[in-house]
Structures are given as structure tokens and as C-alpha cells.
Amino acid sequence: MNLVIDAGNSFVKTAVFQNNRLLEKQIFRKEDFLKNFSNLQKKFPEIKKSILSSVSSIDAELENIVHESYSLLRLDDKIRLPFKNQYATPETLGKDRIALVAAAVNTYPGKNVLIIDAGTCITYDLKTKEEVYLGGAISPGMEMRFQSLHKFTANLPLVKPKPEAKLIGDSTESSILSGIINGIKMELKGTIETYNTKFEDLTIIFTGGDSQILSIPLKNSIFANSNFLLEGLNFILEFNKTQ
């Protein structure tokens, strides 16, 4: 049984897997880690191994507690991966991007896959049918674009995102919505079309908190479940068990 830990800036996600089956998932604030970790130990005494992914610093004390309880694998640029990584600067590659590519390898082996994660940033990651990770792109996320227009201008309001926007805005609010929502959708469509010309039978995976708002109808597009990243981390842990 595996314990997967994904530590963000403010929140921690934990997931317990039996082989590839998710048994339980929890999300809580980082300061509540010790209490929740203790409860997990009591509920799942069969846990033997764990993996930790942290996009920010996590207290050394917390990491030591996990390490003292279980065999701990820390996700970093030295870890063995279930794909060939051709990123020129692997030490700078986001851990969330690594986990999503691993999930794509596990779920769609032998296929060309473009993973689009629409969150704080919009990331594009390409893995080939030969299980080679080539890299991708990073652009500002939806909320970041709304915030930047509001913060870096004197008179533009902070507009609440909506899934649909007019092509031609007839007010300041609708013009901002048109520029950001339609702009991102055009970015997505143009990027996908370009990738499709280079990689045959390309599968498109949408994930992230804004994926539903920014969805566009496309051939071979799939909405990943909300556990896709956690499944990728578990797959990396399982892969390292056999090495």
C-alpha cells in the first residue's frame, strides 16, 4: 500500500493507493499535516511506501516524520522516471508536470499525448508514443490574466471569469472577458492544431481547475479525472519499486 503526498504552497493532498486503486484522498492546509498524517497511519496500517512531491519548501520536520514511518521517495530531478526525459534543464522542470507526464505514460502507453494543465499557469507537455518527454510550454493562467489587467492598469476592474464571452465586447467588462476567455481558447486551439500537424493520432488531455471553463470541442480530447496527478505520482513510486 502506498501513500502519495502532494504539497502545494498552502494545501497538501494525500492519497492512499492499493496497487493502482485509489482508496482515499484528502486535501487539507499544510499546518494540519501532522494531525491528518496520524489519522492516516491509524486507518491504513498497511502503508509501506510513500512518495513526496512539493512545489514549495515543506518543513524538514514533516518530511522526517514521513521518512521515519515509511520508505520515502522524494520527487526530484534525480529520480528514475517511466519515460525518457529530454528536457534541457531537468532540475527546473515542475514536479506537477513530471507527475502528469507519468500519468499519461501509465494511462495512454504507446500514444502521442499532449497534456494541458489549466491552473495558475497553463502548461503544455508532450510525450511521444515512444514514451519520450520532449517538453512543452508555459503561459499565464486565467486568473493571472484577470489579476494582471486589474493590478497593472489604473481603471480596469477585476472581472469574474465566465465560461462564455462575446467576440465583440460592448462594455469594459465584456471586453476583458472577450480578450481573456476567447484569447485563451484561441491559444489552446492554435497550439493544439500546430501539435496535430507534427504528431499523428495525438491524444489531448485537459486537466487543472480551469479546464472545464476553458474547454473547446476537439477530436481526441479527454478530460482527465481530478486524481490524474496523484495517479502519476503513484505510478512513479511503483516504477521505482521495480528498479
Give the pLDDT confidence score for residue 57 in this predicted structure. Answer: 60
44-68 per-residue burial string, b: 16 or more CB within 10 A, e: under 16: eeebebbbbbbeeebeeebbebbee
CB 112 within 8 A of CB 220: no
Rounded Cα gap, residues 125 and 103, in angstroms: 12
pTM above 0.85, yes or no: yes
* 13 belongs to an annotated ligand binding site: yes
Give the pLDDT confidence score for residue 62 in this predicted structure. Answer: 72
Rounded Cα gap, residues 26 and 4, in angstroms: 10
The domain locations on the chain are 1-74, 84-243
* 96 belongs to an annotated ligand binding site: yes
Give the pLDDT confidence score for residue 90 in this predicted structure. Answer: 95
Do 1-74 and 84-243 agree at the fold level?
A: yes
Rounded Cα gap, residues 194 and 214, in angstroms: 18
Give Cα separations from 220 to 189, 202, 216, 223 (angstroms).
13, 7, 12, 10
Give the pLDDT confidence score for residue 59 in this predicted structure. Answer: 62
Give the pLDDT confidence score for residue 58 in this predicted structure. Answer: 59
Provide the β-strand partners of residue 3: 16, 50
Q: Which residues are catalytic?
A: 96
Domain 1-74 belongs in CATH node 3.30.110.60: no
* 11 belongs to an annotated ligand binding site: yes
Give the pLDDT confidence score for residue 63 in this predicted structure. Answer: 81
3-state secondary structure of 180: helix
Give the pLDDT confidence score for residue 164 in this predicted structure. Answer: 85
Give the pLDDT confidence score for residue 8 in this predicted structure. Answer: 78
What is the block-wise mean pLDDT of the chain (243 residues), using blocks of 10 residues? Answer: 88 92 93 90 95 75 84 92 97 94 97 93 97 97 95 94 92 96 93 95 90 73 83 96 71
* 169 belongs to an annotated ligand binding site: no
CATH fold of 84-243 reads Nucleotidyltransferase; domain 5 (3.30.420)
Give the pLDDT confidence score for residue 243 in this predicted structure. Answer: 59
Give the pLDDT confidence score for residue 55 in this predicted structure. Answer: 72
Give the pLDDT confidence score for residue 236 in this predicted structure. Answer: 97
